[in-house]
Chains A and B, each alone.
Chain A
Amino acid sequence: MFRQLKNAHTVLILVLVLSFVLAGCQTNQKPNAGSSGPSGTSSAGDATQAAQGAEKVLTISWPKDIGPLNPHQYAPNEFFAQGMYYEPLIDYGDGGQLVPKLAESWDISEDGKTYTFHLRQNVKFSDGSAFDANVVQKNFDTILANRDMHSWLGVIGQIDKTEVVDAHTFSITLKNQYYPTLQEFAVVRPLRFLGAAGFPDDGNTANAIKNPISTGPWVLSEYKKDELAVFTRNDNYWGAKPKIDKLVVKVIPDPEARVLALEKGDIDLIYGEGVISLDSFVNLRDSGKFETSISDALASRALIVNTAKGPFADLDVRLALQHAVNKQALVDGVTNGVEKKADSIIASNFPYANVGLKPYDYDMEAAKTLLDQAGWKLPAGKTIREKDGKPLEIELVYMGDDEVEKPMSTAIQSDLKQIGVQVKLTGLERQLRNKRMEAADFDLLFWGTYGAPYDPHSFVSTNYEPGYGIYESQQGLPMAKELHQQMKDVLLTTDETERQKLYTSILTTLHDQAVYLPISYLTSIAVYPKYVTGLKFPAHRDETPFDTLDIQK
Chain B
Amino acid sequence: MKLSVYVWKRILMMVPVLLGASFVSFLLLRLTPIDPAKAYLSVSNIVPNEETLRAVRTQLGLDVPFWHQYGVWLGQLIRLDLGTSFYSKLPVTSELAARLPVTATLAGASLMLALLVSIPIGIASALRKNKLTDHICRLLAFLGASMPQFWLAYLLIYFLSVKLDWFPLQGADAWFHYILPSVTLAFALIATYSRLLRAGLLESLEEPFVLYARARGLGTFAIVTRHVLRHAIRPVVTAAGMNLGKLFAGTVIVEQIFGMPGMGGFFLEAVFHRDYPVIQGYLFIMAFVFVMGNLAADLIQASLDPRLTQAIGKGDGR
Which residues of A are interface residues toward B (Cβ below 8 A)? 1-2, 5-8, 10-12, 15-16, 18-19, 22-23, 25-26, 29-30, 32-33, 36, 64, 68, 74-76, 79, 146, 148-149, 151-152, 207-208, 225-227, 250-254, 256-257, 260-261, 263-264, 266, 430-432, 434-435, 450, 458, 462, 465, 467-468
Q: How far is the CA of A23 from the CA of B107 in the complex (A)?
A: 11
Given contacts A431-B39, A431-B274, contact A257 B105 (CB under 8 A): no
Q: Name the distance in Å between A60's Cβ and chain B's nearest Cβ.
A: 13
Q: Is the CB of A36 within 8 A of B94?
A: yes
Decide if B272 touches A430 in the complex (CB within 8 Å). yes
CA A467 to CA B49, docked complex, whole Å: 7
Q: What residues on A are CB-neighbors of B102 within 8 Å?
A: 26
Residues 1-52 (chain B) with a chain A CB within 8 angstroms: 3-4, 33-34, 38-52
Residue of A with least CB distance to B172: A227
Can you offer 6 A-B residue contacts whose CB atoms are under 8 A? A22-B104, A25-B104, A225-B261, A227-B173, A250-B170, A458-B47
A23 to B105: give the CA distance in the assembly, Å: 6
Would B98 and A29 count as touching, CB distance under 8 A? yes
Q: Is the CB of B165 within 8 A of A151?
A: no
Question: In the complex the two chains form, is A252's CB within 8 Å of B261's CB?
Answer: no
Which B residues between 47 and 62 are near A, CB-CB below 8 angstroms?
Answer: 47-52, 54-56, 59
Residue in B closest to A3 when the chains form the complex, CB atoms: B303
Chain B residues within an 8 Å CB radius of A257: 157, 169-170, 256-259
Q: Knowing that A11-B303, A12-B115, A25-B104 touch, tell me 14 more A-B residue pairs with CB under 8 angstroms.
A: A2-B302, A22-B104, A23-B105, A23-B175, A36-B88, A148-B54, A152-B48, A207-B89, A208-B89, A226-B266, A257-B157, A260-B162, A430-B42, A431-B39
Q: Are A7 and B230 in contact (CB under 8 A)?
A: yes
Across-interface contacts of B4 in A (CB, < 8 A): 1
**Majority secondary structure of chain A interface residues (helix, strand, loop or mixed):** helix
Chain B neighbourhood of A458, CB < 8 A: 47
Whether A264 touches B34, Cβ cut-off 8 Å, given contacts A15-B108, A74-B46, A257-B157, is no
Asked if B233 lies at the interface with its beta carbon under 8 angstroms from chain A, I say yes
The answer to whether A261 touches B170 (Cβ under 8 A) is yes
Provide the residues of chain B in CB contact with A16, threshold 8 Å.
112
* Interface residue? B315 (CB, 8 A): no
Asked whether any CB of chain A lies closer than 8 Å to the CB of B218, the reply is no
- Docked complex Cα distance between A64 and B257 (Å): 13
Cβ of B148 within 8 Å of any chain A Cβ, yes or no, is: no
Q: How many angstroms from the CA of A226 to the CA of B255 in the assembled complex?
A: 11
A68 to B88, CA, bound (A): 9
B255 to chain A, nearest CB (A): 8
Q: For B48, list chain A residues within 8 Å (CB).
A: 152, 467-468
Q: Which residues of B contact A253 (CB under 8 A)?
A: 255-256, 259, 265
A467 touches B162 (CB 8 A): no
List, in ascending order, chain A residues with CB within 8 A of B97's CB.
29
CA distance A11 to B304 in the complex (A): 10
Complex Cα–Cα for A435 and B100 (A): 34
Min CB distance A180 to B, Å, is 14
Q: Which residues of B contact A151 (CB under 8 A)?
A: 49, 51-52
Task: Point out the residue from B88, B109, B170 that lies within 8 Å of A76, measured CB to CB.
Answer: B88
Which B residues are in CB contact (< 8 Å) with A11?
237, 300, 303-304
Q: Are B303 and A6 in contact (CB under 8 A)?
A: yes
- The reply to whether A8 and B230 contact each other, CB–CB distance below 8 Å, is yes
Q: Are A74 and B34 in contact, CB atoms less than 8 angstroms apart?
A: no
**Chain A contacts for B42, CB-based, 8 A:** 430-431, 434
CA distance in complex: A18, B161 (Å): 29
Looking at the complex, which one of B49, B87, B255 makes contact with A465 (CB distance below 8 Å)? B49
Given the complex, which residues of B lie within 8 Å of A1, measured CB to CB? 3-4
Taking a contact as CB atoms under 8 Å apart, the answer to whether A251 and B261 are in contact is: yes
How far, in whole Å, are A376 and B52 apart by their CA atoms in the complex?
44
B261 near A2: Cβ-Cβ < 8 Å: no
Q: Is the interface of B mostly helix, strand, loop or mixed?
A: helix
| Assembled-state Cα–Cα distance A524/B266 (Å) | 26
Whether A149 contacts B55 by the Cβ 8 Å rule is yes
How far is B299's CA from A33's CA once the two chains are assembled, in angstroms? 34
Let me know if B120 is at the binding interface, CB within 8 A: no
Q: CA A164 – CA B255 in complex, angstroms?
A: 50
A465 to B49, CA, bound (A): 9
A6 and B265 alpha carbons, distance in the complex (Å): 38
Interchain CB contact under 8 A, B109 and A19: yes
Is A256's CB under 8 angstroms from B257's CB?
yes
A5 to B233 alpha-carbon distance, docked (Å): 15
- Please tell me which one of the listed residues B34, B90, B99, B172 contacts residue A435 in the complex, with CB atoms under 8 A apart: B34
Q: Chain B contacts of A32 at CB under 8 A? A: 98
What separation, in Å, do the CA atoms of A226 and B114 have in the docked complex? 28
B66 within 8 A of A: no
* Cβ–Cβ < 8 Å partners of A261 in chain B: 169-170
B158 located at the interface, meaning its Cβ lies under 8 Å from any Cβ of chain A in the complex: yes
Task: Answer whether A256 and B47 are a contact pair too, CB < 8 Å, given A7-B230, A15-B108.
Answer: no
- Top 5 nearest A-B pairs (CB, nearest first) are A74-B44, A226-B261, A148-B55, A5-B303, A26-B101
User: What CA separation (Å) do A18 and B105 show in the bound complex?
Assistant: 9
Rounded to whole angstroms, the CA-CA distance of A432 and B39 in the bound complex is 10
Question: Given the complex, which residues of B lie within 8 Å of A465, measured CB to CB?
Answer: 47, 49
Task: Known A19-B105, A19-B109, A75-B40; judge A431-B34 contact (CB<8 A).
Answer: yes
Instruction: Contact check, A8 vs B304: say whether CB atoms are below 8 A apart.
Output: yes
**B198 interface hit (Cβ, 8 Å):** no
Interface membership of B154, Cβ < 8 A? yes
Chain B 230-248 per-residue mask, 1 if CB under 8 angstroms from chain A, else 0: 1001000100000000000
User: Which of A2, A151, A263, A458 has most B Cβ within 10 Å?
Assistant: A2
Q: Which residues of A contact B154 (CB under 8 A)?
A: 256, 260
Query: Using a CB-CB cutoff of 8 Å, which residues 125-170 of chain B contact chain A?
Result: 154, 157-158, 161-162, 165, 169-170
**CB-CB < 8 A to A29: which residues of B?**
97-98, 101
Report the bound CA distance from A107 to B120 in whole Å.
81
- Nearest neighbor of B236 in chain A, beta-carbon distance: A8
In the bound assembly, the distance between CA atoms of A18 and B158 in angstroms comes to: 32
Determine how close the nearest CB of chain A comes to the CB of B90; give it in whole angstroms.
5
Tell me, in angstroms, the Cα distance from A11 to B300 when the chains sit together. Answer: 7
In the complex, which of the residues B3, B90, B161 contacts A2, with contact meaning CB atoms closer than 8 Å?
B3
Which residues in A have their C-beta under 8 angstroms from that of B89?
207-208
Contacting residues, chain A, for B261 (C-beta < 8 A): 33, 225-227, 251
Minimal beta-carbon separation of A78 from chain B (angstroms): 11
Chain B residue at minimum C-beta to C-beta distance from A264: B162
Q: In the assembly, what is the distance between CA of A264 and CA of B102, in Å?
A: 24
The CA of A432 and the CA of B89, in the complex, are separated in Å by 24
1/0 contact string of B78-102 vs chain A (CB within 8 Å): 0000000001111000110111111
Question: A7 — which chain B residues lie within 8 A by C-beta?
Answer: 230, 303-304
Question: Counting CB contacts under 8 A, is B117 at the interface?
Answer: no
What's the minimum C-beta distance from B5 to chain A, rounded to whole angstroms?
A: 11
Supposing A2-B302, A152-B46, A256-B257 touch, asked if A33 and B170 sit within 8 A by C-beta, the answer is no
Residues of A within 8 A of B237 (CB): 11
Q: Are B157 and A260 touching (Cβ within 8 A)?
A: yes
Q: Considering only CB atoms, which chain B residue lies closest to A67 in the complex?
A: B88
- Establish whether residues A148 and B52, one from each chain, have CB atoms under 8 Å apart when the complex forms: yes
> Nearest Cβ in chain B — how far from A293, in angstroms?
24
B309 on the interface (CB 8 Å rule)? yes
Residues of A close to B175: CB separation below 8 A: 23
- The interface residues of chain A lying within 8 Å CB-to-CB of B172 are 26, 227
When chains A and B are docked, how far (Å) is the Cα of A76 from the Cα of B102?
21
Q: A432 — which chain B residues lie within 8 A by C-beta?
A: 33-34
Q: Write the nearest CB–CB distance from B175 to chain A, whole angstroms.
A: 7
B111 within 8 A of partner (CB): yes
Given the complex of chains A and B, what is the CA–CA distance between A6 and B56 in angstroms?
56
A266 to B171, CA, bound (A): 12
On whether the beta carbons of A431 and B38 are closer than 8 Å, the reply is: yes
With both beta carbons as reference points, the residue of chain A lying nearest to B254 in the complex is identified as: A254
